[in-house]
Amino acid sequence: MSDVNDSKSHPEFRSEADEWALLSPAERWIESCGLWSVYLAWGGSLDPEPDSHSPFDCEELQRAIPGHGRSGVHLVRRGGV
């Protein structure tokens, strides 16, 4: 097999993306559910991001409220822009 493939078969050469790809679908599902929980706990919104390329780019779909319906994170200081 190729050099590229050989290097990726060794754990020390794998990136985080490769490690993720080599998990089973069930393992990725569990990890993803964990991310989902953290995201919601931090006040993440389940609404779509603005995407000017999307046929559904519309303010009605972008309420930008926290996923669990309450404010989880308050912005105390914003730097730069």
Partner 1 sequence: MGGQACILYGAAEFSRDLDLAIATDPENAKAVARALEELRAEQIYVPGFDIAALERGHACHFRCHASGAENLRIDLMAKLRGCPDFDELWNRRTTVELPEIGSIDVIALPDLIQAKKTQRDKDWSMIRRLVETHHLQFCNNPNRDQIIFWFRECRTPSLLVELARTYPDDCRGPLGQRGLLQAAHEGDFAALESVLYQEEQQERERDRSYWKPLRAELRQWRRERPPRT
Closest approach, Cβ 39 to partner 1, in A, equals 7
Nearer Cβ to partner 1 (18/73): 18
Distances (CA, A) of 68 to 2, 41, 71: 47, 8, 8
User: In whole angstroms, how close is the CB of 4 to partner 1 at the nearest point?
Assistant: 6
Beta bridge partners of 37: none
AA letter at 5: N
- Residue closer to partner 1, measured from CB, 55 or 79: 55
Nearest to partner 1 of 53, 77 (CB atom):
53
Rounded distance between C-alpha atoms, residue 36 and residue 68, angstroms: 11
